[in-house]
């Protein structure tokens, strides 16, 4: 069996950036497994979104960004394998991998998981109604449009109001589809002005506080019934697009019995990006939903740097301390902290998200002593950064508290 120093699972921005950073740090055999035939991950789906400004000093659109990643990988002598789909993660770094020649086992001293995110499906949202053809997520829509020049509908109702929703609207409009309406179940748009002016400017009605309460259709979608306040109305349409509601693609952890954080739904990692099982690392959007391609790239680079330093020793043995937090904080990354010598790179800050829009005071306490606090209006799905104090890794308790303003 040919053993790698590091196997990276997933060729999106974070996986590629980590590969390059590790090569630059002198790591020997780096194997990058990508299940598709291209690099770029989710960025490939977005034909119109700009990527690359911070990492490459210029702007690329969608697939062009993936091609730039491919050139970077080629320049750095990485063992890149397309069409390789990982089926199982072993405790000791052995991976069961499917490729066009069948099954094989690959092993490495460390494994870096950069499997990204997926959108929450209609099924996982428990939306009431029939189950006809024509119900998709943004990623699916963009694959139809960008890779196959097809469309799954002419006149969809779109659910959501994240950045990716705007991307979905744009894809519809530029491919001859006209959304019938955009619905956000919450009382406010998840993107702020001026971006939230976009749907009405494009002539697409945007309803807040609006829920899909029924889907009708036998073959294809024929209509949805929506509820706004006490009013239920029927909108005729031939498709429904559920946009956003990103969730980490952490299924391999779950099916392999490796620890997943209940807040982020991604693998729990420490300040170096190291999982509970210290042979495994994770970086990019699999850590938490959801950040930009550029963010994922920089995170991949930083965790790749830490991983390269970690390879010089044995896998960390110290049991991690769990970061604790109050509701309505949804997640904290890193959610584990391990004492020991400081590695270069890694996660310099805590990243937080809230479950709902809330006003109040967020505070950080280390071993019972408050070391940081701020009062603000906190929004769900917006990134919150709290600098991670150096003494956090040796602490017995690290806790994020929250006091809601009433």
Query: Residue 186 or 379: which CB sits closer to other proteins?
Result: 186
Residue 273, token pair as written in the block: 């990006």
Q: How many residues does the chain have?
A: 406
Query: Residue 150 or 201: which CB sits closer to other proteins?
Result: 150
Which whole-number Å values give the CA distances from 3 to 106, 111, 187, in the listed order? 7, 11, 53
Query: Residue 25 or 143: which CB sits closer to other proteins?
Result: 143
Query: Residue 52 or 239: which CB sits closer to other proteins?
Result: 239
Residues 21 to 40 in contact with other proteins, rule: CB under 8 A = 35
Query: Residue 123 or 312: which CB sits closer to other proteins?
Result: 123
Check residue 326 for interaction with other proteins (CB under 8 A): no
Number of neighbours of residue 192 by Cβ within 10 angstroms: 10
For the bound state, the minimum distance from the C-beta of residue 124 to other proteins, rounded and expressed in Å, comes to: 5
Query: Residue 82 or 372: which CB sits closer to other proteins?
Result: 82
Candidates 85, 292, 339, 355: give the one binding other proteins (CB under 8 A). 85
Tell me the three state secondary structure of residue 243: coil
Residues 262 to 321 in contact with other proteins, rule: CB under 8 A = 262, 265
For the bound state, the minimum distance from the C-beta of residue 177 to other proteins, rounded and expressed in Å, comes to: 8
Contact 138, 241 (CB under 8 A): yes
Candidates 238, 272, 291, 381: give the one binding other proteins (CB under 8 A). 238
Query: Residue 219 or 368: which CB sits closer to other proteins?
Result: 219
Query: Burial of 301 by CB count in 10 Å (0-12 exposed, 13-18 middle, 19+ buried)?
Result: buried
Which whole-number Å values give the CA distances from 39 to 69, 300, 360, 378, in the listed order? 7, 15, 42, 35
Check residue 98 for interaction with other proteins (CB under 8 A): yes
Tell me the three state secondary structure of residue 226: strand
Check residue 325 for interaction with other proteins (CB under 8 A): no
Q: Give the interface segment with other proteins, choosing from 4-12, 129-137, 285-293, 315-323 (CB under 8 A).
A: 129-137
Which whole-number Å values give the CA distances from 239 to 144, 179, 360, in the listed order? 14, 9, 40
Contact 306, 300 (CB under 8 A): no
Check residue 152 for interaction with other proteins (CB under 8 A): yes
Strand pairing report for 329-333 and 181-183: unpaired
Tell me the three state secondary structure of residue 14: helix
Crossing angle of helices 63-75/13-24, nearest 10°?
20
Residues 153 to 212 in contact with other proteins, rule: CB under 8 A = 153-154, 174-176
How many Å apart are CA 181 and CA 186, to the nearest integer?
Answer: 15
Candidates 1, 2, 57, 103: give the one binding other proteins (CB under 8 A). 103
Check residue 100 for interaction with other proteins (CB under 8 A): yes
Phi-psi map region of 107: left, alpha, beta (phi>0 left; psi -120 to 50 alpha): beta
For the bound state, the minimum distance from the C-beta of residue 330 to other proteins, rounded and expressed in Å, comes to: 14
HSE-CB at 163 with a 13 A cutoff on CA atoms is: 12
For the bound state, the minimum distance from the C-beta of residue 193 to other proteins, rounded and expressed in Å, comes to: 29
For the bound state, the minimum distance from the C-beta of residue 214 to other proteins, rounded and expressed in Å, comes to: 7
Check residue 218 for interaction with other proteins (CB under 8 A): yes
Candidates 64, 133, 195, 259: give the one binding other proteins (CB under 8 A). 133
Contact 370, 303 (CB under 8 A): no
Residues that bind other proteins (CB under 8 A): 35, 83, 85, 87, 98, 100-103, 118-119, 121-124, 126-133, 136-137, 139-140, 143-144, 147-148, 150-154, 174-176, 214-215, 218-220, 238-239, 247, 251, 254-255, 257, 262, 265
């Amino acid at each position: 069996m040919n053993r790698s120093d590091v196997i990276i699972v997933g060729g999106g921005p974070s996986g590629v950036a980590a590969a390059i950073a590790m090569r630059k740090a002198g790591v020997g055999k780096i194997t990058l497994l990508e299940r598709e035939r291209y690099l770029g991950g989710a960025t490939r789906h977005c034909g119109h979104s700009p990527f690359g400004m911070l990492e490459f000093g210029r702007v690329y659109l969608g697939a062009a960004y993936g091609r730039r990643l491919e050139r970077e990988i080629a320049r750095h002598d990485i063992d890149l394998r397309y069409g390789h789909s990982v089926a199982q993660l072993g405790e000791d770094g052995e991976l069961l991998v499917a490729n066009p020649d069948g099954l094989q086992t690959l092993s490495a001293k460390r494994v870096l998981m950069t499997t990204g995110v997926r959108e929450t499906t209609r099924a996982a949202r428990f939306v009431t109604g029939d189950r006809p053809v024509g119900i998709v997520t943004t990623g699916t829509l963009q694959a139809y449009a960008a890779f196959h020049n097809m469309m799954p509908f002419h006149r969809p109702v779109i659910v959501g109001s994240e950045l990716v929703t705007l991307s979905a609207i744009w894809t519809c409009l530029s491919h001859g589809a006209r959304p019938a309406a955009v619905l956000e179940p919450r009382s406010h748009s998840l993107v702020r002005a001026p971006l939230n002016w976009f749907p009405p400017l494009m002539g697409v009605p945007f309803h807040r506080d609006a829920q899909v309460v029924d889907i009708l259709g036998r073959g294809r979608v024929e209509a949805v019934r929506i509820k706004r306040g006490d009013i239920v109305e029927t909108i005729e349409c031939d498709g429904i697009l559920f946009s956003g509601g990103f969730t980490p693609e952490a299924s391999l952890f779950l099916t392999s019995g490796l620890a997943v954080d209940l807040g982020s739904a991604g693998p729990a990692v420490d300040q170096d990006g190291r999982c509970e099982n210290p042979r495994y690392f994770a970086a990019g959007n699999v850590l938490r939903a959801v950040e930009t391609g550029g963010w994922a790239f920089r995170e991949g680079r930083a965790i790749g740097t830490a991983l390269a330093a970690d390879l010089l020793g044995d896998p960390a043995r110290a049991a991690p301390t769990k970061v604790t937090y109050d509701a309505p904080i949804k997640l904290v990354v890193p959610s584990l902290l391990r004492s020991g010598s400081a590695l270069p790179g890694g996660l310099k800050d805590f990243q937080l998200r809230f479950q709902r829009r809330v006003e109040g005071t967020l505070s950080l306490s280390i071993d019972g002593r408050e070391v940081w606090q701020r009062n603000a209006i906190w929004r769900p799905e917006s990134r919150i950064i709290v600098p991670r104090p150096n003494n956090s890794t040796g602490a017995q308790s690290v806790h994020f508290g929250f006091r809601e303003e009433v």
